[in-house]
């Protein structure tokens, strides 16, 4: 019997949507509005279910950076729920610029 490895998911094959790198570890999905906020009335009033479920593919380094520099989930969902908003954050923007020049 021949054993084959399962093919990596599409997200593990792609490029990071922030830094543009393709890493050996692949990418993970980052919810622009964290799942912990999906039941919150403030978010339910302002966003559709589709908007709240939107994710972006980011490399491990960028994902860790996002949660390091904006540790509060509600702040992430309210102020940094687009790629443009994430890149406009001073520390995240500088990190992405720096890491995009690395392998």
Predicted pLDDT of residue 4: 38
- Name the residue range of residue 75's domain: 11-99
> What value does the mean pLDDT take over residues 21-32?
94
35 belongs to a structural domain: yes
As a whole number of angstroms, the distance between CA 90 and CA 48 comes to: 28
2 belongs to a structural domain: no
The number of distinct structural domains making up the chain is 1
4 belongs to a structural domain: no
43 belongs to a structural domain: yes
Q: 77-100 burial string, b = 16+ CB within 10 Å, else e?
A: bbebbeeeebeebeebeebbeebe
pLDDT digits (tens, 9 = 90+) for 42-83: 999 999 999 999 999 999 999 999 999 999 999 999 999 999
> For residues 84 and 102, which has the higher predicted lDDT (pLDDT)?
84
Supply the mean pLDDT for the chain.
89
pTM (2 decimals)?
Answer: 0.82
């Amino acid at each position: 019997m021949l054993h084959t490895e399962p093919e990596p998911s599409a997200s593990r094959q792609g490029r990071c949507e922030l830094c543009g790198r393709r890493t050996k570890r692949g990418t993970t999905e980052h919810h622009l509005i964290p799942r912990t906020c999906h039941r919150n009335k403030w978010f339910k009033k302002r966003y559709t279910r589709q908007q709240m479920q939107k994710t972006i593919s980011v490399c491990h380094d960028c994902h860790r950076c996002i949660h390091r520099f904006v540790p509060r989930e509600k702040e992430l969902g309210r102020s940094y729920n687009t790629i443009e908003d994430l890149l406009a954050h001073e520390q995240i923007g500088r990190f992405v610029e720096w890491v995009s020049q690395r392998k």
